[in-house]
Amino acid sequence: MEPPTLPTDADVAALHAACLDWYGQNARDLPWRRTYATPWHVMVSEFMLQQTPVVRVLPMYEAWVERWPRPADLAAEPVGEAIRAWGRLGYPRRAMRLHECARAIVERHGGEVPEDRDQLRALPGVGEYTSAAIAAFAYGRRHAVLDTNVRRVLSRAITGNEHPPRTLTRPERVLAERLLPASPPVAARWSVAVMELGALRCSATAPDCDRCPLRTHCAWRRTGYPAHDGPPRRAQAYAGTDRQCRGRLLGVLRDSDGPVAGSELRRAWDDHAQRERALDSLVADGLVEPLDGDGFRLPR
């Protein structure tokens, strides 16, 4: 929703001070925030963090950056190795796209992750959020970073709604730009600070307002925590879906060293029509390679 009015300069300054100060005292020591983390490391972390919690990303991130410390190292591998190494992080197309990114970075950018927002945005799997995050966190560029955490914090603190709109809106972008500090490095720190606040205090289901640095500024708190109004957020069914079937089938491929016979995949999922449909879609997506006879493997 559009805020009634944009915050004043004094409001903005107070928000900056409260949030940046809190971050200085409460930031988690995450490996991709260390000074020795390269832009490539930041990129790997951002791909893994798309819809996946930090605690599950941590061990996979460490394994990836150790095995493939530069884009060229991953680009030299078959895509199937990236898919296998993705393990059970979920959404394995991210692994495929990150591998495509590595090859594009080698071919088009001399092996270095680009700094420019538009060049980043042109890479596969890099959208509005991820391009801004890499430019800001890896290179200190000044871009509004609007992930689900930032959107929720701004929705509550400024707009007064428990939840942001279902999809990112123009007013949200205007507000985020209004709040972005003028100095590029400070803007980047502000963005990661608001994200951290959304993750550690202003969480979706259990906000810890008593320990929130914005508690004296927060519009949602000031108005008595009005419940979310608007359409209920659609639950995502999973059991019995094509997604579950795809995950099961890919898991068999991932856990096998070589090719897998059709008979083995048949044992992994009973519903014949659904299994065939899922397999076709995995092949169409490039996540699975059909062999000439009867068999499948991770793509080379």
34 is a site residue for DNA (CB under 7 A) = no
Q: What are the φ and ψ backbone dihedral angles of 109, each rounded to 5 degrees?
A: -130, 25
Spell out the residues 6+ positions from residue 184 whose beta carbon is closer than 8 angstroms to its own.
Answer: 140, 141, 142
Alpha-carbon Rg for the chain, nearest whole angstrom, is 22
Cα separation values, 67 from 70, 73, 114, 149, 292, Å? 9, 8, 21, 30, 32
Question: Do 79 and 66 touch, CB atoms closer than 8 A?
Answer: no
The interface mask with DNA, positions 144-183, x = CB under 7 A, is ---xxx----------------xx----------------
Q: Catalytic: which of 2, 46, 112, 172?
A: 46
Supply the minimum distance, in Å, between the C-beta of residue 123 and DNA: 7
Is there a catalytic annotation at residue 46?
yes
Site stretch for DNA (CB under 7 A), options 4-12, 67-75, 193-201, 256-264: 193-201
Binding mask 58-87 for DNA (x = CB under 7 A): ------------------------------
Looking at the Cβ atoms of 18 and 43, the one nearer to DNA is: 43
Task: From residue 82, give the alpha-carbon distance in Å to each of 75, 77, 87.
Answer: 10, 8, 9
Among residues 242, 255, 280, 294, the one that binds DNA under rule CB under 7 A:
242
- Near DNA in 252-291, by CB under 7 A: 281
Task: Write the CB contacts of 250 (distance below 8 Å, at least 6 apart in sequence).
Answer: 83, 92, 282, 287, 288
Rank residues 232 and 293 by Cβ distance to DNA and give the closer one.
232
Give the binding range for DNA (CB under 7 A) out of 12-20, 174-182, 236-244, 257-265: 236-244
CA–CA dist 216, 262 (Å, integer): 61
**CA-based nearest residue to 94, from 136, 126, 55:** 126
H/E segment holding residue 290: strand 289-290
CB-nearer residue toward DNA: 183 or 241: 241
Half-sphere exposure of 300 (CA within 13 A, CB side): 6
CA 104 – CA 122 distance, rounded (Å):
10
Shortest separation between residue 138's beta carbon and DNA, angstroms: 11
Give the residue with the Cβ less far from DNA, 14 or 251: 251
Residue 209 interacting with DNA (CB under 7 A): no
Among 56, 103, 109, 221, binds DNA (CB under 7 A): 56
Residues engaged in binding DNA (CB under 7 A): 30, 32-33, 45-46, 49-54, 56, 88-93, 97, 124-131, 133, 147-149, 166-167, 195-196, 198-199, 203-206, 232-236, 238, 241-244, 246-248, 250-251, 281
Q: Which positions are annotated as active-site residues? A: 46
